[in-house]
């Protein structure tokens, strides 16, 4: 309950405002303790009274003493008082004053009362902050906050001003129906290219004649080289296999890529076995009498072994090294294929068909690898260069093959055959890298 001094009575001056003695009714004097009467005057003169309301049920009155040292409690104010002299409202920081309803109150809201519905305010209690007021415990206070509405899609207060999108996570497998069908179609196209080239080399007169001329010029070129070079030329396919086998093992140990190494070995075995089956069981050379031997040598097993070793190294290499490994692997594979033409073991189209068959198995291995490991960050080092050089060299080989039909140029069949081997090796390497490339940019 709140106490106010007598001199601060807001209606103390009403005594002089009305001249009618009928409107003023003396109230009961305030009894003061002994010692305060010594200042003079009777109790009636020291007790000045004012009437706040007219007499009757439901009215309220307030009186105060003229002595500034004496205070008395302020009476309760009715919420349905007709005068509205004390329009007190609840302070959110303190407890509301006690109100009483007179006998004549009907319970209807007063004109000054706010009947609108407000959102419920949840008090926030903080220990150690005491502001006083009845009904409050020591060490607690009530602070009301206006409820705030957060926009949709925005993080609530206390968790940052803005909502950050969830970071894109790398999926466990980069595999979908479209990816599977795309890789299978790529493998079919590579195998179809190998079959078309084998048909031209074995079943047409122009193909057998171009291969035979390149084989004869390779033998002549070997005779012009120093004799000490001949054993090393024979060892080129073996050296290529050892080189890329060691590189693949280093990648597997250094980067813990044992699964790609295993998948590469399985794919390489499939490529080598399929090459031998095609040469011995399925492909037959037409007996046109152009080749000196009637036995079929297409595709080349030596070139297939070198291409398989390079393919395993490409699959085992991390993504940042894959393009460079594929580029140099294609060059060494082409060197192994050209060496078989120089020493008279195979013809140029034998080596071309071999690298295409190995590329087909590399795409199948890439599909299997997508089912087993997560996708990696894609880097395109030397990928475009490999593709462009491969296309240019294949076009050059086709141009030389077409020129041999009309003109006779010494060395042209061997040069066209060598260009074809290098060009198809580069294209096969590019297809291997492209098959291993993630189809979605996760980083």
* Long-range residue pairs from 1-6, CB within 8 A, at least 24 positions apart, any chain: 1/73, 1/74, 1/97, 1/98, 1/134, 2/74, 2/97, 3/71, 3/72, 3/73, 3/74, 4/71, 4/74, 5/68, 5/71, 6/64, 6/65, 6/66, 6/67, 6/68, 6/70, 6/71, 6/72
64 SS3 class = coil
Q: Before 299, cis peptide (omega within 30)?
A: yes
Beta bridge partners of 73: 3
Q: Are 425 and 337 in contact (CB under 8 A)?
A: yes
The H-or-E segment that residue 234 falls in is helix 229-234
Q: What is the pLDDT of residues 375-406, one digit of tens each?
A: 776 666 778 889 999 999 999 999 999 998 88
- Which of 386, 371, 373, 374 lies closest to 434, judged by CA? 386
The mean per-residue pLDDT over the stretch 183-201 comes to 95
In this predicted structure, what is the pLDDT of residue 289? 83
> What phi and psi values does residue 382 have, to the nearest 5 degrees?
65, 10
- Output the average pLDDT for the chain: 74
Residues 6+ apart with CB under 8 A from 158: none
Tokens of 124: 């926030």
In this predicted structure, what is the pLDDT of residue 114? 53
Please report where in the chains the tokens 């790529």 appear, as a residue.
186
Q: Are 295 and 302 in contact (CB under 8 A)?
A: no
With a cut of 90, say whether residue 123 has pLDDT above it.
no
DSSP-assigned states of every residue in 38-55: GGSS-HHHH-----SS-S
With a cut of 70, say whether residue 344 has pLDDT above it.
yes
- Which of 321, 300, 176, 183 lies closest to 236, judged by CA? 300
Q: What percent of the chain has pLDDT over 90?
A: 43
The mean per-residue pLDDT over the stretch 192-212 comes to 93
Residue 396, classified by CB atoms within 10 Å of its CB into exposed (0-12), middle (13-18) or buried (19+), is middle
Q: Are 317 and 325 in contact (CB under 8 A)?
A: yes
- Taking the C-alpha atoms of residue 428 and residue 430, their distance in angstroms, rounded to an integer, is 5
Higher pLDDT among residues 170 and 230, named by residue: 230
- Taking the C-alpha atoms of residue 80 and residue 58, their distance in angstroms, rounded to an integer, is 9
With a cut of 70, say whether residue 90 has pLDDT above it.
no
With a cut of 70, say whether residue 223 has pLDDT above it.
yes
> What phi and psi values does residue 375 have, to the nearest 5 degrees?
-70, 155
Instruction: Report the half-sphere exposure of 358 (CA within 13 A, side-chain side).
Output: 37
Does this model's pTM top 0.75? no
- Taking the C-alpha atoms of residue 221 and residue 235, their distance in angstroms, rounded to an integer, is 17
In this predicted structure, what is the pLDDT of residue 384? 86
Q: What is the pLDDT of residues 35-63, one digit of tens each?
A: 444 444 444 444 444 444 444 444 444 44
> What phi and psi values does residue 49 have, to the nearest 5 degrees?
-120, 150
In this predicted structure, what is the pLDDT of residue 49? 42
In this predicted structure, what is the pLDDT of residue 82? 44
In this predicted structure, what is the pLDDT of residue 5? 52
Of the pLDDT bands very low, low, confident and very high (cuts 50, 70, 90), residue 76 is: low
With a cut of 50, say whether residue 441 has pLDDT above it.
yes
Sign of the Cα torsion 53, 57, 58, 64 reads positive
Most confident of 25-29, 30-34, 188-192: 188-192
The mean per-residue pLDDT over the stretch 157-178 comes to 55
Q: What is the pLDDT of residues 244-296, one digit of tens each?
A: 999 999 999 988 899 999 999 999 999 999 999 999 999 989 888 887 777 88
Please report where in the chains the tokens 């007179």 appear, as a residue.
102
């Amino acid at each position: 309950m709140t106490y106010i001094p007598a001199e601060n009575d807001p209606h103390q001056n009403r005594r002089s405002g009305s001249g009618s003695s009928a409107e003023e009714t003396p109230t009961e004097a305030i009894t003061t303790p002994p010692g305060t009467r010594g200042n003079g005057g009777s109790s009636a003169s020291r007790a000045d009274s004012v009437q706040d309301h007219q007499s009757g049920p439901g009215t309220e009155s307030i009186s105060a003493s003229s002595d500034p040292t004496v205070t008395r409690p302020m009476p309760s104010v009715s919420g349905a008082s007709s005068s509205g002299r004390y329009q007190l409202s609840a302070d959110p920081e303190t407890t509301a004053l006690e109100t009483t309803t007179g006998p004549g109150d009907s319970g209807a809201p007063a004109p000054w009362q706010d009947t609108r519905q407000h959102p419920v305010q949840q008090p926030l209690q903080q220990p150690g902050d005491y502001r006083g007021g009845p009904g409050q415990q020591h060490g607690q206070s009530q602070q009301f906050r206006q409820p705030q509405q957060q926009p949709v899609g925005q993080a609530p207060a206390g968790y940052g001003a803005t909502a950050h999108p969830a970071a894109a996570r790398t999926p466990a497998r980069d595999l979908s129906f479209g990816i599977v069908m795309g890789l299978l179609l790529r493998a079919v196209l590579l195998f179809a290219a190998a079959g078309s080239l084998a048909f031209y080399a074995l079943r047409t007169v122009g193909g057998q004649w171009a291969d035979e001329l390149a084989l004869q010029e390779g033998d002549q070129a070997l005779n012009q080289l120093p004799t000490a070079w001949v054993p090393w030329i024979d060892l080129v396919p073996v050296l290529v296999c050892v080189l890329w086998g060691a590189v693949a093992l280093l990648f597997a140990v250094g980067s813990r890529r044992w699964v790609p190494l295993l998948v590469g070995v399985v794919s390489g075995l499939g490529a080598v076995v399929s090459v031998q089956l095609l040469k011995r069981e399925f492909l037959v050379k037409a007996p046109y009498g152009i080749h000196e031997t009637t036995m079929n040598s297409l595709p080349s097993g030596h070139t297939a072994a070198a291409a398989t070793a390079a393919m395993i190294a490409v699959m085992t290499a991390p993504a940042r090294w894959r393009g460079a490994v594929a580029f140099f692997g294609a060059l060494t594979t082409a060197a192994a294929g050209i060496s078989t033409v120089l020493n008279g073991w195979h013809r140029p189209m034998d080596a071309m068909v071999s690298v295409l068959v190995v590329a087909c198995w590399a795409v199948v291995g890439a599909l299997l690898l997508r089912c087993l490991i997560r996708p990696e960050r894609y880097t395109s080092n030397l990928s475009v260069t490999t593709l462009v050089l491969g296309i240019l060299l294949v076009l050059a080989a086709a141009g030389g093959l077409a020129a041999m039909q009309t003109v006779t140029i010494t060395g042209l069949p061997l040069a066209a055959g060598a260009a074809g081997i290098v060009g198809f090796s580069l294209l096969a390497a590019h297809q291997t890298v492209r098959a291993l490339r993630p189809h979605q940019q996760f980083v």
